[in-house]
Structure 1
Amino acid sequence: MRPMLASQGTAIPAGPSWVHEVKWDGMRVLADVHEGQLQLTSRTGKDVTATFPELAGLALETEDALLDGEVVALEGGVPSFTALAERMHVQDRRRAAALAVVRPVTFMVFDILRLYGVDLTSRTLSERRATLERVGLEGAHWRVPPVYDDGRLLQEATRENGLEGVVSKRLSSKYHAGRRSSDWLKFPHRATDSVVVGGWRPETTNATRLGAVLVGRPTSTGLRYLGRVGSGLTGRAAVQLLDRLGSMGSDASPFADEVPRIDADGTRWVRPEVVVDVTALGATHGGRLRQPAYKGLRADLTPTDLLETEG
């Protein structure tokens, strides 16, 4: 099963038909508990159980359940995607266990899709939420965050506290696995996009260090160029990304459209296989990202996944 996805909203809905949640800056995960075993699955269907060993205790919370939520890495009480990016790609159990001690994650559970063998996806969100609260999940590394009646007030509170935004959900909505629905609406304070790296540029003062990446969005006609991203590419994040790109060199640009000379000059092209998250203040009339900033490597996504969710 793949999780239900939210659509981009334009105005936060009001009234008793909706509830509102904090939009967590993390990694979407389904947690399947059955007969004392836990399996964690990413949004794309990848098994990430070994990646987050601190969540193993969920298997003791209930005999059988399928939970939907977001894995986050908290720094000062605020989710940090940069910190989470260090965890997302790790599959080696020993390495994952060591990271779980120094950079632990928290699983924010916001939905329940099965309990004691009963499929709950055809029930309304209000029914599923009541069931989730009765289960009483509360541990050192997992919790059920509250929902709120006033979405606009929550929007202001999340902005003031440095959180990513708000998700508004219709109480009568059923769970449509693998589909993007207008019954769930997302309102990020700064839009986040998953994009594909098509090339990188070295720092002007050090040719061995990563200074910027050229990114695009997969479409049915090829990789469409979105612009150059340099902000946020510092320290360990830059080293980690360059390690991934270093062996992917290509002789030609992977973009289907023409890259402006000012961006293309000095760029080292790569095979379009690496997905990263960037934030931006929308797009220009020419389709370029406005003031983009690098957030982190998305080891859980492939370019094909982005194409499948296009639009």
Structure 2
Amino acid sequence: MLATPGTHVPPGDDWVHEVKWDGIRLLAHRTRDGRPRLWTRNENDATLAWPEIAGGGPSVSTGRDLLVDGEAIALNDRGVPDLRVLGERMHVRDARRAARFAEQRPATYMVFDVLRLDGRDLTGLPWTERRAVLEGLAESGEMGGWQVPAAYDDGGMLHEVTREQGLEGIVSKRRTSRYLPGVRTKEWLKFPHRFRGSYVVGGWRPQIGTTDRLAALLVGQPTPAGLVYRGRVGSGIGARESRQLRSLLTDAAASPFAGADVDPAGGVPREDVRGTFWVEPRVVVDVETHGRHVVGAAVLGRLRQPAFIAVRPDLGPEDLL
């Protein structure tokens, strides 16, 4: 279940409010025999990549069958959850490397919903009842090392406090909301403090004087009409990020941006086309920016002062439509 961007924090007793964590969304399943399994939003098995989460939940001694929704977070040097700290971990497929990451920068699993317990589907229950089940599990110690963050009645207060503390934002949830897997709903509203969006990579440009060192990305937004160009992102891409991105991108013969059937540049400005290598539009990245440009009567939607944050292996282009 996904939250819709909100315009104002809803007041009143019909809503409850939670901290919006800057991390990776994960579903976690612990079977009665204690076997753990983790999935990303796009149903990729992530169990190997997060050994401290897979091994840190309810133990086999509880004998419970449990499916929960939550977010893996890690703290930066300022003690604030930061997606960038988890950047390298999202693609780990080697158990020894995952174990090193877990020791050096351990992640914490923040559980905010429960979907199934002992074979019973809880998704049709209102949020208040699911929350009561979750809190009961936490109070009895059956959540193991997984944490259940607090929920708050005063959304305005939480919004201001999270801003002051440098947290990502808040999520407001209607108390009567059922859990709708994979659905983006207005029963959950999100209020980030920074403008951050997810975009699809359609091309890359090398560092001047090189042919293989990735220095900038060309990103777009999926629409029913195709991939619409949103701008070039160079800030935030260091040597480590450059290597990671190059290993994920697959070369393409032509621009994937909308309009490529009319213009080989696909609507991309000439200055951004020069020296660009096109790629298959499969990789999703998070970009932080100050907003979008509006020029004349046409909304070009170009990102202003964009900075690369991280690759999002838990998202596919279809998730952004």
Q: What TM-score, normalized by structure 1, do the two folds share? A: 0.91
Distance apart, 1:215 and its partner CA? 0.3
* 1:254-292 Cα distance to aligned partner (Å, 9 max, x none): 212310012111222222222111122332221212222
Distance 1:138 1:292, change over 3 A: farther
The SS at the match of 2:258 is coil
Alignment match, 1:221: 225
Q: Is the 8 A contact 1:37 1:59 kept in 2?
A: no
- Distance in 1, matches of 2:142 and 2:221, equals 39
Equivalent AA in structure 2 for residue 57 of structure 1:
G
The SS at the match of 1:175 is coil
- Distance in 2, matches of 1:200 and 1:282, equals 22
Query: Which structure 2 residues correspond to residues 287-302 of structure 1 after superposition, within 5 A?
Result: 287-302=301-316
Correspondent of 1:107 among 100, 109, 120 = 109
Alignment match, 1:45: 43
Range moving further from structure 2, 190-199 or 138-147: 138-147
Query: Which structure 2 residues correspond to residues 57-136 of structure 1 after superposition, within 5 A?
Result: 57-60=56-59, 62=62, 63-75=64-76, 76-136=78-138
| Sequence identity (%) | 54
State the Cα RMSD in Å. 1.9
Equivalent AA in structure 2 for residue 51 of structure 1:
A
Q: What TM-score, normalized by structure 2, do the two folds share? A: 0.88
Equivalent AA in structure 1 for residue 46 of structure 2:
V
Range moving further from structure 2, 121-130 or 264-273: 264-273
Equivalent AA in structure 1 for residue 287 of structure 2:
V
Alignment match, 1:211: 215
Query: Which structure 2 residues correspond to residues 130-145 of structure 1 after superposition, within 5 A?
Result: 130-136=132-138, 142-145=146-149
Distance 1:138 1:264, change over 3 A: farther
Correspondent of 1:275 among 281, 284, 288 = 284
Equivalent AA in structure 1 for residue 319 of structure 2:
D
- Distance in 2, matches of 1:141 and 1:242, equals 36
Pairs aligned (count): 302
Q: Is the 8 A contact 2:177 2:187 kept in 1?
A: yes
- Distance in 1, matches of 2:145 and 2:96, equals 19
The SS at the match of 2:288 is strand
Query: Which structure 2 residues correspond to residues 200-279 of structure 1 after superposition, within 5 A?
Result: 200-204=204-208, 208-245=212-249, 248-257=250-259, 258-279=267-288
The SS at the match of 1:54 is helix
Alignment match, 1:26: 23
Alignment match, 1:182: 186
The SS at the match of 1:288 is strand
Q: Is the 8 A contact 1:89 1:300 kept in 2?
A: no
Q: Which runs of no fewer than 5 residues in structure 2 stay unpaired?
A: 260-266, 294-298
Alignment match, 1:14: 11
Correspondence 1:167 to 2:171: yes
* 1:62-88 Cα distance to aligned partner (Å, 9 max, x none): 412111111112224311211212111
Q: Which runs of no fewer than 5 residues in structure 1 stay unpaired?
A: none
Q: Is the 8 A contact 2:127 2:174 kept in 1?
A: yes
- Distance in 2, matches of 1:278 and 1:206, equals 24
* 1:85-111 Cα distance to aligned partner (Å, 9 max, x none): 211111222221121111211111011
The SS at the match of 2:132 is helix
Equivalent AA in structure 1 for residue 13 of structure 2:
P
- Distance in 2, matches of 1:218 and 1:274, equals 12
* 1:118-165 Cα distance to aligned partner (Å, 9 max, x none): 221111111111111111158785211111121122112111211111
Q: Is the 8 A contact 1:82 1:237 kept in 2?
A: no
Distance apart, 1:206 and its partner CA? 5.2
- Distance in 2, matches of 1:204 and 1:138, equals 55
- Distance in 2, matches of 1:33 and 1:141, equals 13
